Amino acid sequence: MISLGCAKNLVDAEIMLGSVLQHGMGITARAGEADVLVVNTCAFIDSAKEESIDAILDAHQQRVLHKKPGQKLIVSGCMSQRFSKELREQLPEVDAFIGLDQITQLGAIAQRLVAGGADPGGADVLVGTTGISAPGYNFVTPRPTYIPNYDTPRFRLTPAHSAYVKIAEGCNHPCSFCVIPQMRGRHRSRQPDSVLAEVRSLVADGVKEVNLISQDTTYYGMDLWNEKAGPRQPVDSRRGTTLASLLREIEEVPGDFWVRLLYTHPAHWSGELIDAIAQCKKVARYIDMPLQHIDEAMLGRMRRETGRQHIEDLIVALRAGIPGVALRTTFIVGFPGETDAEFETLLGFIARVRFDRLGVFKYSPEEGSRAAKMPDQVPTRTKNARYRRAMILQQKIAREMAQARIGTEMKLLVDQPHVARSEADAPDVDAMVVLSQAAPVGEFIHRRIAASRGYDLLA
């Protein structure tokens, strides 16, 4: 399997491989040995779609190279969910497309394909099929509703000491640049007991870092209903599930581990959640909160459901309420209609707030989004120039913040004998700490920071 895109897609990949094992099939790292190749695609931005198409074509070339004409090629993930009809015509090399509702059924689908595709409609999920010859089977159902449970079989693809836990799926936000709600459906939270059971199982299995993920983790629980409140009454912090109450329950799970919050939205933060993070010792002092922009007019065009003053006040509240918190964010440059003055407003905000971690995306027009139809699309050359300016500014800030940590002692989680991460560093996306002396992988250690090198620290 080749899995592309974000951590949420990675969890889907783990569930698909769990289904394969559940159906008695094995997993191999050698494409030439496999009866089935799977490409788990991303369709978030144009470059992700291009990477996904390249991976599909490369996988097809692999089976040609290995002279395995009977080897099957399955495409899954967001691009398959959204464009399966078009892709069936454009990519006759693919034997089957599966959607987000079918990730637990990859094993059954793969078995049927390997067996020759006999009676594919026999299972209720194997719908809308055609012959096994081009174009391939289409197992994609519209408007996905699936969400994993604690006992869903998974084959983890992360290091043994770190894991992602998907606490919700889908999104209700109307951001004008995004089509994720069209691909992944409306927000749906897992029951807290299901999340807690999974966390307990992972910690018992030796996991030291639990990364909570969804499209918007701060929306967690808002779609659940409290039976005592009567029909169709949303839960609130006094009578039902919230992210804050979930964190407090995770805090009670025995063991020495970090809980990290990823993908929060500024619209749904509360004083209760800030207090929970500050009071729970196992919750990492790390907030991942994509802001996308700060100019008031830009936030309106992006349909972000927040204004500049709300964001400014929230950052002050986070830093005051959670001492030592590391703030990570992302911004979009070159959004339709972004003027030089609006971009300068963003640069000034970055310089003043000094985020611990920051990423920048160059706006990508997504088919089906409101923003793709907007006038005043920004030229690529301008996007590139603004991207460089924003990243050069952040590099300077990051170097200064790294240098300020020299001489301090930090608790670190060891990823490799000479590589670790601090509480302020999420896996795959943030900086690392290079160790001068080897340390046991998957364990917490305390080391003194001796120097810095760009974004990274030396200990």
User: In whole angstroms, what is the distance from residue 81 CA to residue 374 CA?
Assistant: 25
Average pLDDT over residues 193-217: 97
Residues 74 and 41 in one domain: yes
Split into its structural domains, the chain has a count of 3
Read off the amino acid at residue 242.
T
Q: Domain end: 357, 383, 403, which one?
A: 403
Residues 413-434: tens digit of each pLDDT: 999 999 999 999 999 999 999 9
Counting every residue written for the chain, the total comes to 459
Is 170 buried (19+), middle (13-18) or exposed (0-12) by CB count in 10 A? buried
Three-state secondary structure of the chain? CEECCCHHHHHHHHHHHHHHHHCCCCCCCCHHHCCEEEEEECCCCHHHHHHHHHHHHHHHHHHHHCCCCCCEEEEEEHHHHHHHHHHHHHCCCCCEEECHHHHHHHHHHHHHHHCCCCCHHHCCCCCCCCCCCCCCEEECCCCCCCCCCCCCCCCCCCCCCEEEEECEECCCCCCCCCCHHHHHCCCEECCHHHHHHHHHHHHHCCCCEEEEECCCHHHCCCCCECHHHCCCCECCCCCCCCHHHHHHHHHCCCCCCEEEECCCCHHHCCHHHHHHHHHCCCEEEEEECCCECCCHHHHHHHCCCCCHHHHHHHHHHHHHHCCCCEEEEEEEECCCCCCHHHHHHHHHHHHHHCCCEEEEEECCCCCCCCHHHCCCCCCHHHHHHHHHHHHHHHHHHHHHHHHCCCCCEEEEEEEECCEEEECCCCCCCCCCEECCCCCCCCCEEEEECCEEECCEEEC
pLDDT, residue 240, reads: 63
153 located within any domain: no
Which residue, of 403, 427, 448, is where some domain finishes?
403
CATH code for position 96 = 3.40.50.12160
What's the whole-number mean pLDDT along residues 233-247? Answer: 68
Give the pLDDT mean for 200-208: 98
Structural domain of 33: 2-139
Q: Is position 380 within any domain?
A: yes
Residue 246 lies in a domain: yes
d(CA 242, CA 236): 7
Output the 3-class SS for 266-311: HHHCCHHHHHHHHHCCCEEEEEECCCECCCHHHHHHHCCCCCHHHH
Whether 316 and 365 map to the same domain: the answer is yes
Please tell me whether residues 175 and 196 are part of one structural domain.
yes
Report the pLDDT value the prediction gives residue 42, as an integer from 0 to 100: 94
What per-residue confidence (pLDDT) applies to 45? 82
pLDDT at 148 over 50: yes
Q: How confident is the model at residue 44 (pLDDT cuts 50, 70, 90)?
A: confident
pLDDT for 69: 79
**So what's the pLDDT on residue 130?**
34
**47 against 421, higher pLDDT:** 421
Report if residue 145 sits inside a domain.
no
pLDDT of residue 132: 37
Please tell me whether residues 371 and 238 are part of one structural domain: yes
pLDDT value, residue 136: 65
- At residue 24's C-alpha, the angle toward residues 20 and 25, to 5°, is 55
| One domain, residues 347 and 434 | no
d(CA 280, CA 174): 32
- Give the tens place of pLDDT for each residue, 307-325: 999 999 999 999 999 999 9
What is the rounded CA–CA span in Å between residue 409 and residue 315? 26
Pick 115 or 397 by higher pLDDT. 397
Domain check: are 274 and 225 in the same one? yes
- Cis amide leading into 135 (omega within 30): yes
What is the reported pLDDT for 127? 38
Q: Which residue has the higher pLDDT, 68 or 121?
A: 68
Q: Of all residues in the chain, what percent carry a pLDDT higher than 90?
A: 84
| Each residue's pLDDT tens digit, 82-105 | 999 899 999 999 999 999 999 999
Mean pLDDT over residues 288-316, rounded? 98
Q: How far is residue 20's CA from residue 157's CA, in Å, rounded to a whole number? A: 14
CA atoms of 324 and 287, how far apart (whole Å): 11
Determine what percent of the chain is predicted with pLDDT higher than 70: 92
Q: Which residue has the tokens 């629980």?
A: 221
Residue 287 lies in a domain: yes
- Identify the residue with better confidence: 211 or 117: 211
Q: Find all residues with CB under 8 Å of 134, minimum gap 6, and list them.
A: 92, 93
pLDDT band per the 50, 70, 90 thresholds, residue 259? very high
**pLDDT at residue 343 in the model:** 98
Residue 226 pLDDT > 60: no
CATH of the domain at 431: 2.40.50.140
Residue 104 within any structural domain of the chain: yes
Q: Is residue 152 part of a domain?
A: no
Q: What's the pLDDT score for residue 47?
A: 86
Q: How far is CA 275 from CA 66, 271, 282, 319, in A?
A: 57, 6, 13, 12
**pLDDT value at residue 66:** 81
- Does the pLDDT at position 256 exceed 50? yes
Residue where a domain stops, chosen among 358, 378, 403: 403
- Do 206 and 135 lie in one domain? The reply is no
pLDDT in tens, 396-418: 999 999 999 999 999 999 999 99
* Region 379-405 average pLDDT: 97
41 close to 75: Cβ distance less than 8 angstroms: yes
Q: Which residue has the higher pLDDT, 128 or 376?
A: 376
pLDDT value of position 225: 59
Res. 232 pLDDT band, cuts 50 70 90: very low
Same domain, 413 and 284: no
Question: Within a domain: residue 225?
Answer: yes
Rounded mean pLDDT, 339-365: 97
Confidence band for 117, pLDDT divided at 50, 70 and 90: low
Mean pLDDT over the full length of the chain: 91
Mean pLDDT across 95-118: 91
Domain identity same for 421 and 332: no
Which three-class secondary structure string do you get for 395-443?
Answer: HHHHHHHHHCCCCCEEEEEEEECCEEEECCCCCCCCCCEECCCCCCCCC
**Mean pLDDT for the stretch of residues 275-289:** 98
- Provide the pLDDT confidence category of residue 227 given band limits of 50, 70 and 90: very low
Q: Report d(CA 6, CA 44) in Å as an integer.
A: 9
The CATH number given to whatever domain includes residue 371 is 3.80.30.20
Separation of alpha carbons 31 and 1, rounded Å = 9
Per-residue pLDDT, 341 = 98
The verdict on 327 and 435 lying in the same domain is no
Who has greater pLDDT, 32 or 350? 350
103 and 197, same domain (yes or no): no
User: Do 326 and 299 lie in a common domain?
Assistant: yes
